[in-house]
Structure 1
Amino acid sequence: MARAEWGSRLGFVLAAAGSAIGLGAIWKFPYITAQNGGGAFLLIFLLLVFTLGISLMIAEMLVGSVTKKSPVGAYRKLGGRTWSLVGYIGVLCGFLILSFYSVVGGWTIAYIVKSVDGAILTADPKVLSGIFSTFIADPVEPLWYHALFMGVTAGVILAGVQKGIEQVSKYLMIMLFLLILVLIGRAITLPGAIDGVLTFLNPDFSKVNARMVIEAMGLAFFSMSLGMGCMITYGSYASDDTYVPHSAGSVITLTTLICFLSGLMVFPAVFVFGFDPSAGPGLTFITMPAVFSQMGGGQFFGVLFFFLLFVAALTSSVSLMEVVVSFFIDEFNCRRTPTTIVMSILMFVLGIAASLSLGVWNDYKFFGKNFFDILDYVSSNLIMPFGGIMVAVLVGWKSWTLVSERLASKGKHPWWLPLLKWFLRIIAPIMIFVVLLQNL
């Protein structure tokens, strides 16, 4: 079976950027920045993204590009049979993440509906908190939206690499960018909005400490969709004439730009109406609706905001499902359609347990965490850092000769190749291990 390929480099870049730009870029980056000194955190984050982030992005894309296989086959081809276990863990990570991520993706659809009918147009955060808590604890309503979100994700995968993932990613990424610009335009025209912008950009170096740097390392790693096989899978669809470092640099730049623009979108509006931009996850479903309720044309911009979240969630969920589906296509020669349907059903079923654990099953806890939190913790805090360390070791040590030749141009090696080599061999594994210890 001939391996699918991206139709163009732009399609590859936008699909990979869509994978990296998820819900975290929209809500997590602004509130983490607010908690950690604004511009000071921003500077450290940028430094880490263009060292740690781009090194691992290049490594993952190269693994896929060189082998033309999904994670299990790619690790086996480059490292041997033992290394295929790392690939299996990556596929499992994609499966686990999408199971609960689809539940949250469903919330974005629900809040589009609630914005349209005006159910969340109130300036009282306590009321909004009650609405959100009641909604996610409901044993039935979130599941309908979870099913809808999983169905849309599966629909994109069923259409294939070029006609599905690539085409949808192109349109969705353009739409994402335009929506953010529209919302920024509204936010900065509010009276006093410039103070919010200054709060976001002004560096508070008094907050720079080891904990803050570790926080920035974690965000730089996780916000790029690294450590779970997405970039390996997407890299495997790249044509042989695709120069991976250029594509990786474009993806990193686009993702960082969206994170930065999200801060400009959130900070001014939240600041003007006196809310706390470091409110954490509640910033999305509690604080922002309160902001929109006090804004002229707030209902319209509320709908746009939650549609923006839906788009960001969908581009990431598509990459997660493709990791799982491509594994079965490569390893067992399965057909795309039945594989996608079966995997969607299985992930939906696991997601039911995750959703119910926020409500009627909330009393059932393991190590003090409900089922939703366990899925999140194991995949994001343990498996992803493990995957990041392994791909750095694989490329930096085990397969360096092979991948470095792929990076050579007409027999000449680029000047930065020794830096990439030692970053992957030593610096990146140590940095990610520090993040892993912090998570533990």
Structure 2
Amino acid sequence: MVERETWATRIGFLLASIGSAVGLGNIWRFPFQTAENGGATFLVVYLVAVVVIGIPAVLAEFVVGRRANINAITAFEKLGRPNWKVAGALGVFTGFWVLSYYSVIGGWVIRYIGASATGGYVDDPAAYFGAVSAGPEAVVLHAVFLAATVGIVALGVEDGIELATKFMVPSVVLLMMGLAVFGATLPNAGEGFAYFLAPDLDVLAANLGSVVPAAVGQALFSLSLGFSVMITYASYIGEDDNLVVDGATIAAFNTFVGVLAGLIVFPLLFAEGVSPDTAGPGAIFISVPTALGELPFGGAVGVVFFAIVLIASLSSSISLLEVVVSYLVDTYDVSRPVVASGLGLVLFVLGVPSAWDTDWLGWFDAIAVNLFLPLTVVLVVFFVGWIVARDAVDEVRQGAEGLPDISTLWLWSVRTVVLLAVLGTLALGVLELATPSDAYIVPPL
């Protein structure tokens, strides 16, 4: 029997969980979601969504993981509800599905570090992105990024994931703070700050129906909810940890990094007159390089920026792979390096279509964000709030002695506000998938 691993330190668990949340969801997805949904208006709604929905949902996943002290699928069986294993299985599958194309984007980031050093994208960033984002080179870099992910996870919880994230997370934060300070010195930086930090309530009132679902979806994605990551990571922690404090800490750091990303990206865009409204998903691969190409020392800034994105991407990808590895190691008593390597090969094959054609990547992402992710969160939240409510309250109180008891308030927020909000997000996501759109049609083979 393979002995089950644990975190060596509480800070290791926190940094690993923060690292899972602080990835492309913050540095790639957050800026363009902000730009597409009214700038500071979106930021305000997003912050509310993190507090009201994100933190209670993180705590729900923590409860399942620590209470069961086992992987995300077996956890539901151990809690006496074997029929609910589907919730854990869907989360594990969602993480695996996302990692197959997430690693393709990670490969793009590797390419852009080199391109920043050589000035490869300066002449025409849009054409450059079109040339390198798909095809044989993208397939190779997809494999390179996956190999790095597999190598870290294969080393184990303490010697691999915990050790790596203890380096990655502080590095990301320090480098981003440095770039944010640099961004503040750029011409027209004030316009970028105003766009990002000064909300227009009239814009919010006019676009509430689109901004709120986008903000809730971003909160779920950026906090690694719906991937069974937080269930898995919480299964490695002890009974003395305060889950409420841990959940709030992770959400706070995650939000801080997202705001830092905005404080970097928007001053860069406004400094060179690049409209944030047209940045879209290519913001960090087209719009940001366009701005960097006009800056003194833009190449050096680009190397640092894309190095940050790479480190953050790896910290998230290892959590997505660990979810599946944890289940297989726990269930089948097999070697962690063998399992991690085998899954890496499967992920490589699954991700080849996304690396060969970005239309495939868009389809994979649409299915994950609009269907798999919110559906998983709905199942977990309902399970915790209505099926194992008494055990959930007991678990939240565990390790929180001497502090105000918020377990009952948390339970009712999970049962009502959180559940309804995520159900609404799921309904809108399904509607979006059902609406004819080139972005969501399966590309031809």
Q: Identify the TM-score tier after normalising by the shorter chain.
A: over 0.9
Contact 1:183 1:305 in 2 (8 A): yes
- CA separation in 2, counterparts of 1:280 and 1:42? 16
CA–CA distance in 2 between the matches of 1:79 and 1:54? Answer: 25
Q: Which structure 2 residues correspond to residues 183-194 of structure 1 after superposition, within 5 A?
A: 183-194=179-190
Tell me if 1:439 matches 2:438: no
- Which residue number in structure 1 is paired with residue 194 of structure 2? 198
* One of 128, 139, 145 as aligned partner of 2:141: 145
| Structure 1 segment 36-435 matched on structure 2, within 5 A | 36-122=37-123, 127-138=124-135, 140-208=136-204, 209-278=208-277, 279-358=279-358, 370-408=359-397, 414-435=404-425
TM-score, scaled to structure 1 = 0.93
Show CA shifts across 1:219-248 (max 9, x none).
Answer: 112111101100000011112211111111
Q: CA contact under 8 A between 1:28 and 1:280: conserved in structure 2?
A: no
Displacement of 1:20: 0.8
* Cα offset, 1:163, TM superposition: 1.0
CA distance in 1, matches of 2:101, 2:128: 20
Q: Deviations over 1:16-59 (max 9, x none)?
A: 01101111211322232233333332222111101100001011
**Is contact 1:37–1:206 with CA below 8 Å preserved after alignment?**
no
Q: Provide the rounded CA distance (Å) in 1 between the counterparts of 2:291 and 2:422.
A: 36
CA-to-aligned-CA distance 1:325-384 (integer Å, 9 cap, x gap): 1110111112101101100011011111221233xxxxxxxxxxx432332222222111
Structure-2 separation of matches of 1:349 and 1:411: 49
Q: Which residue identity is paired with 1:379?
A: A
1: distance between equivalents of 2:87 and 2:37? 34
Q: How many angstroms does 1:88 deviate by? A: 1.6
Which consecutive residues of structure 2, in runs of 5 or more, have no partner in the other structure? Answer: 431-445
Aligned-partner Cα distance in 2 for 1:206–1:28: 25
Q: Does the CA contact (< 8 Å) of 1:79 and 1:399 recur in 2?
A: no
Q: Report SS of the residue matched to 2:276.
A: coil
Please say if residues 36 and 207 of structure 1, whose CA atoms lie closer than 8 Å, have aligned partners that are also in contact.
no
Structure 1 residue 315: deviation in Å? 0.6
Equivalent residue of 1:295, what SS?
A: coil
> Over residues 159-202 of structure 1, what are the superposed CA-to-partner deviations in whole Å (9 max), with x where a residue is unaligned?
11011101100110011011111211211111231221122111
Matched letter for residue 372 of structure 1: L
How many pairs does the alignment contain?
424
Tell me what 1:366 maps to.
none
Structure 1 letter corresponding to 2:237: A
Letter in 1 for 2:274: F
Q: 404-413 or 88-97: which moved more?
A: 404-413
Contact 1:121/1:299, CA 8 A, preserved across alignment: no
**Paired residues of 2:92 and 2:227 also in contact (CA < 8 A):** yes
1:54–1:249 CA contact under 8 A, matched in 2: yes
Tell me, in whole angstroms, the C-alpha distance in 1 between the residues paired with 2:402 and 2:262: 41
8 A Cα contact 1:79 1:394, kept in partner:
no
Aligned pair 1:22/2:23, yes or no? yes
- Take 2:221 and 2:203, find their aligned partners in 1: how far apart are those partners? 22
Gap change, CA 1:386 and 1:79, over 3 Å in 2: farther
Where 1:121 maps in the other structure, the secondary structure is coil
- The answer to whether the 8 Å contact 1:106/1:149 transfers is yes
Aligned to 1:281, the other structure's residue is in SS state helix
Q: Aligned partner of 1:241: which letter? A: D
Partners of 1:372 and 1:44 in 2: CA distance: 28
Distance in 2, matches of 1:383 and 1:437, equals: 12
Seq. identity, %: 35
Counterpart Cα distance in 2 of 1:90 and 1:52? 18
Which whole-Å CA distance do the structure 1 matches of 2:363 and 2:49 have between them? 28
Secondary structure of the 1:4 match is coil
Supply the distance in 1 between the matched residues of 2:282 and 2:290 (Cα, whole angstroms): 11
Give the drift of 1:151. Answer: 0.5
Shift in Å at residue 97 of structure 1? 0.9
Offset at residue 414 of structure 1 (A)? 4.1
Question: Partner letter of residue 401 of structure 1?
Answer: R
Q: Which amino acid aligns with 2:370?
A: N
Contact 2:45/2:211 (8 A) holds in 1 = no
Alignment TM-score, normalising by the size of structure 2: 0.92
In the TM superposition, what is the alpha-carbon distance from 1:413 to its structure 2 partner?
8.7
Letter in 1 for 2:375: F
List gaps (5 residues or longer) in structure 1. 359-369
Partner of 1:330: helix, strand, or coil?
Answer: helix
Aligned-residue CA RMSD (Å): 1.6
Is contact 1:102–1:146 with CA below 8 Å preserved after alignment?
A: yes
Q: Which runs of 4+ in 1 moved over 6 A?
A: 410-413
Distance 2:133 2:33 in 1: 24
Whether the aligned pair in 2 keeps the contact of 1:153 and 1:317 (CA below 8 Å) is: yes
Map of 2:443 onto structure 1 = none
407-416 vs 38-47, which moves further = 407-416
Amino acid at match of 2:220: F
Identify the range of structure 1 (349-358 vs 310-319) with the bigger mean alpha-carbon deviation.
349-358
